[in-house]
Amino acid sequence: MKAFILKRVLALLPILFIVSIVVFLVIHLTPGDPATVMLGDTATEEQVKALREQLGLNNPIHEQYVHWISGVFQGDFGYSYFMKQPVMDTIISHLGPTVSLAILAEIMAILIGIPLGIIAATRRGSATDQSLMGVALLGISVPSFLLGLFLVLVFAVQLRWLPVGGYEPLSEGLLLHLKYLIMPAIALGSMQIALTARMTRSSLLEVLNTNFIKAARSKGVKERHVIYRHALRNAFLPILTVLGQTFGVLITGAAVVETIFNIPGIGQLIINSVGRRDYSVIQGVVLFVTFTYVFINLVIDLLYGVIDPRVRLDQK
């Protein structure tokens, strides 16, 4: 187990290194002067030159990268000119809304997607199965921003049950917190619910056709026990993989939904930073999000051995 964890952690380093180079080059080779964008059209030439010198933009690009990446290894992601604070503090201040939104959407995927997949699998070929898979296909096909706008139109504008947008932290109360997050969570999690349902159905059908399930049924084991104690546990590894990947997507792909509902999360932060050409924040957020995504996949790999002891992690 220790050897496997060490191997996966070491595998993170080249991934993060390559991502850091690509992001740094893409940002710095984009046409336009970031100092001029930051100061605005009313800035004088002397002010622009002073800011370029302050940000180190006059140095060769390889020196800029070495200076930035050496700071990252020391825990310093740089300083945001607009936010007037270190990049890591900026990321942490915007991380809470994104994590809350992602967790709520993931809970929906688990509580709705898995039961729907089980129902569809146990009623294979029936009208119920076809209806549920049709709804799942619709959930995959409808973009999150379109569903979000539809939810706002119905539940916020017409019915006035929920706020149009904004965010209230958990410290203000659970109900108020959920009131602001329920619509964006549905918009963001609809595709994850559909993917989870389809994977649950597919994986469960594969297990239900195996010999040990047929043997359990022939011995008179109750169908409920066959499904939940035997079949679902053996079918859960692919489902766990999808849940892990979708959670990473929820963390990294919430930018559009956060913009629609005006949620001050990581997605809105990076969009605003791109518009402001805030290099340090863009680089720091992308690197942080990449690390989070890979770390989630590492946790999923470790959970394989917990759910199914037949998985020998040391031999991977």
Average pLDDT over residues 133-147: 89
Angle at 310 between CA 305 and CA 314, to 5 degrees: 60
Ranges of H-type helices in 40-172: 45-55, 61-73, 87-108, 114-122, 127-141, 144-151
Tell how far CA 244 is from the center of its chain: 9
Beta strand ranges found along the chain (DSSP E)? 79-80, 85-86
- With contact defined as beta carbons under 8 Å apart, do 230 and 59 qualify? no
The average confidence (pLDDT) of the chain is 85
Question: Does the pLDDT at position 284 exceed 50?
Answer: yes
Helix 174-208 vs helix 144-151: crossing angle, to nearest 10: 130
Mean pLDDT of 102-124: 91
Q: Distance between CA 33 and CA 277 in Å, rounded? A: 9
Residue appearing with tokens 């149009």: 164
Tell me the CATH class for 94-250.
mainly alpha
Q: Identify the residue whose tokens are 């195996």.
A: 210
* Beta partners for residue 85, in sequence order: 80
129 vs 242, 273, 282, CA distance in Å? 20, 45, 44
pLDDT at res. 108: 92
Rg (CA), the chain: 24
Torsion of CA 234, 238, 244, 250, to 10 degrees: -130
Closest CA to 96 of 163, 164, 167, 144: 167
Give per-residue burial for 136-145: e unless 16+ CB within 10 Å, then b: beebeeeebe
Report the pLDDT value the prediction gives residue 316, as an integer from 0 to 100: 47
Cβ atoms 292, 251 nearer than 8 A: yes
Encode pLDDT of 11-70 as tens digits: 778 888 888 898 888 887 777 777 777 777 777 888 888 888 877 878 888 888 888 888
Structure tokens that stand for 172 in this block: 């203000």
Both tokens assigned to 247 = 């959670």
**Mind listing the pLDDT tens digit for each residue in 159-213?**
889 998 889 988 888 999 999 999 999 998 898 999 999 999 999 998 888 888 8
pTM listed for this prediction? 0.82
Domain limits, the chain: 94-250
Is the pLDDT assigned to residue 313 strictly greater than 60?
no
Q: What is the pLDDT of residue 7?
A: 75
Q: What is the mean pLDDT of residues 288-307?
A: 80
Residue 79 DSSP symbol:
E
